[in-house]
Structure 1
């Protein structure tokens, strides 16, 4: 789909504006940002030669955004491209164009050319991240069980911790996002 996103990109948040939005996931976001490093590889020159930017659809309360956004920011710094962000809940018209299986699942990173036309889309998860979440979800009781809410809160806490500390997941996300950028 050749979608022109100028109106969305022009009104999107800068990286600093987005960082100010993070509250309870701020520590995890900052930890990943401070500890993740882009690996040197043979694709560096190719990515630096490409002319693109990225519009992210995110929310500061989303653990997947906490994991993937700092990685995208490091890619932007290493390969010199601009990134801006739209908050999903304030921009449902945009989000509905990028649903996953009919749902508003985030993050979504939309790769744009210099005229703000879509040339690639990444998200919402790297396959390894999805597999990890699915594995943790298998430990949940049925939704109609008496202790489901308590166990779901524990699940969220464990996932946040895993995302914050598991460098293998960071690099799985990195490779998957980078692959989308290379193919755009």
Structure 2
């Protein structure tokens, strides 16, 4: 499967943002407030010559996309990575190649590719720190069939959303996780 074909179908950042009907202001707020640290910028500048591209499988209603996508955009800008967004629900053929735990269509998924369309790294849908936070919150929920399950779950989602929008340590953990994935996949080799 040549990933360049998928990349070419994608929306640019501006096209994606313009089409957003959910979480647009919140995502842009994080984008405006988040800044990479100098060490991250230095590394990302060194991988610019790799001419990477990234396919973002996402949907605007997704809470994880709300917090992860603006961080990815900052990483991509610093590394001069061209970004294209594909809506998950309209691109299930690709999405099903990147299932979380082999079963879940969890998003966002970031597929980093070279100019020839070869996969170089994959990230998503959450940083390890964020995954632990979500698991901790879910563990406190009552059983699915409990009378107050839906109420407690809605409250949990509201709390997580507030943390996503305001906790800069979450943003930093996401940036660290994405950048670590790029480093791990030897994208800075021979620089």
Residue aligning to 1:63: 63
1:15 Cα offset (Å): 0.5
Distance between the aligned counterparts of 2:44 and 2:118, measured in 1? 23
Distance between the aligned counterparts of 2:155 and 2:19, measured in 1? 24
Residue aligning to 2:75: 75
Residue aligning to 2:18: 20
RMSD, aligned CA: 1.3
What secondary structure sits across from 1:97 in the alignment?
Answer: coil
What is the CA deviation profile of residues 110-138 of structure 1, one whole-angstrom value per residue up to 9, with x for unaligned ones? Answer: 00000111111011111000011111112
Residue aligning to 1:4: 2
Relative to the length of structure 2, the TM-score reads 0.90
Contact 1:54 1:110 (8 Å CA) reproduced: yes
| 17-26 vs 172-181, which moves further | 17-26
What secondary structure sits across from 1:154 in the alignment?
Answer: helix
What is the CA deviation profile of residues 117-173 of structure 1, one whole-angstrom value per residue up to 9, with x for unaligned ones? Answer: 111101111100001111111221110011111111111111111111111010000
Could you say if the C-alpha distance between residues 139 and 21 of structure 1 is closer, same or farther in structure 2, counting changes exceeding 3 Å?
farther
Runs of 4+ in 1 over 4 A off after TM superposition: none
Distance between the aligned counterparts of 1:178 and 1:69, measured in 2? 14
Distance between the aligned counterparts of 1:8 and 1:76, measured in 2? 18
What secondary structure sits across from 1:43 in the alignment?
Answer: helix
Structure 1: 5+ residue stretches without partners? none
Alignment: residue pair count: 182
Residue aligning to 2:28: 30
Could you say if the C-alpha distance between residues 172 and 51 of structure 1 is closer, same or farther in structure 2, counting changes exceeding 3 Å?
same
| 1:91 partnered with 2:73 | no
